[in-house]
Structure 1
Amino acid sequence: MRRLALLLVLLAGTAQAQDLAILRPQVTVEDAQIRLSDLFDNAGPNASRAIGPAPAPGRRIVVEPAQLFAIARANGVAWRPLTGADSVTVERPGRAIARDEVMDLLRADLIRLGMDRDTELELPGFSPPLVPTAAFAQTTIEGPTYDTVTNRFAATLVVVADGMPTQRLRLAGRALATAAVVVATRRLALNETVRPGDVRVVRQRAERVRPGLATNPAQVIGQSLRRPVAEGLPFATNDLSLPAAVERGATVTMLMESPGMTLTAQGRALEPAARGAVVPVMNLASRSIVEATVIGPGRVRVAFGGAPVGTVPSYR
């Protein structure tokens, strides 16, 4: 009989232990409300009851032991704190509104107020607001102002999304003038000829663009490089030259023209030169050196009757 009574006591204790709620020390919620089941496992018939607002998207709150005990008593949950460390950290994930989305909205309003469309917006201290991960968000700009003298602006960003109160953020900054700059799309080597796919135009703050940089692709395409250019860096016009149409030591065709007559001879270019440049050329037959104008790849024009600039002695 005593053994049966002891068994009944043990069974009753086990059943009571099974009814006890278990604290959830770390929890993530997606909803705008914290529910009883977010704080306790085995929370009973009121498990789905909302007990308070969730933290803002991207934020967290800590529910302390005394507050947890009060929540448990008010909702019929069999739980009491055992130590002062019995707390629950509730986190709510969030996604950031795209910075470009905010900038595009702000830029459109400021352009209507007289801002140059090619300016760059400086917005110090701005962090894109967070909204619930799965929520559809709408953003608008209210009350924009722009001073055309100081280039300073101000506005209010309004963010509306399900599951959170409407957010209003003050935006303030200044518009900075920009300038077009041609930069390399890949690393280019010394003496390499720049092709259309090797360049792109970017806009940089005008205050950072030093004089002498190429601002139009036409200044760069077809030019030869006097020094290497790394990917993403601008082209300096001093580092560009026309590509050589004749190379040093190359055999060239010398044309001597006069009304009704054209003579040709073979020569050797003594220096590299671009189209239109004057280069010394040695006539391979006479060994005399004359100045010639480069008219194309491997072709030079010599003034008829032009005086030689020197001779190279012939050795037997």
Structure 2
Amino acid sequence: MHRSVYMLMLTGAAALSLLGLTAAPVQAQDTLVLKAQVTDGDGRITLGDLFDNAGPAADVVVGTRVGPSAVLDAGEVQARARQAGQSWPNPQGLRRIIVSAGADGESATQIRAEAGRTKEVLVFTRALSAGEIVAPTDIAWQPVQAHLTGGSLISDPETAIGKTVRTPVREGGVVRPGDLTAPVVVKRTEMVKVNWQLNGISLSMTGPAQKDGAIGDLILVQNPQSKKLIEAVVTGPGSAAAGDTAQNLRARALYSSR
């Protein structure tokens, strides 16, 4: 009888110890702390804009701002934070979060002081949908309020013309590198001629591309005879290069994207 009671006590102690070990990480987990004043500088609202301690999730986009302010649903922000592996219990019970325009960390006084200043930047002259190609008439230099021009901007029109719009943009929106991508010139399953050069030897073959690609992208092309997949760099519509030429083109593309 005493032995059974003793074993029961040991079992209970082990269970409590196990529970303590499993509960400790949860207690030690940091929760997100909402900033007293929430601002963003480029129209893309991230967890880092909203919270002081977003850490590795700081770049996760939770919304966009068009104009001087934006209103976010607190429940949706909470869900996005959870998806990013973060916890925000919303202790204040907020229903909405208001995000004001301005560079991160600026005070409301600074934002108001800059509201009257303008800066000449490239903007879109019409709304464009994802996948549309930017024409010369789609962008123009216009004065924009200075506090809306933070972050990376495109300062050379030639850099934007001919590019494909990555996500929908609005008329009057500032042209930024993240809005655009190189246009697709090779479609998946399209027949592509691959020129191969190595140590002075030149060969060529034509086979189906395994994915879409823009100029400078690395794609796979299937050899119709051997059925093997060959890595090649897209050089233009329906054409790609492998071997020494491909390595040089790829290195140049990676360097220019920095």
TM-score (norm 2): 0.46
Flag the structure with higher helix content: 2
TM-score (norm 1): 0.38
Bigger Rg, structure 1 or 2: 1
Flag the structure with higher strand content: 1
Q: Which has the higher contact order (CA 8 A, sep 6+)?
A: 2
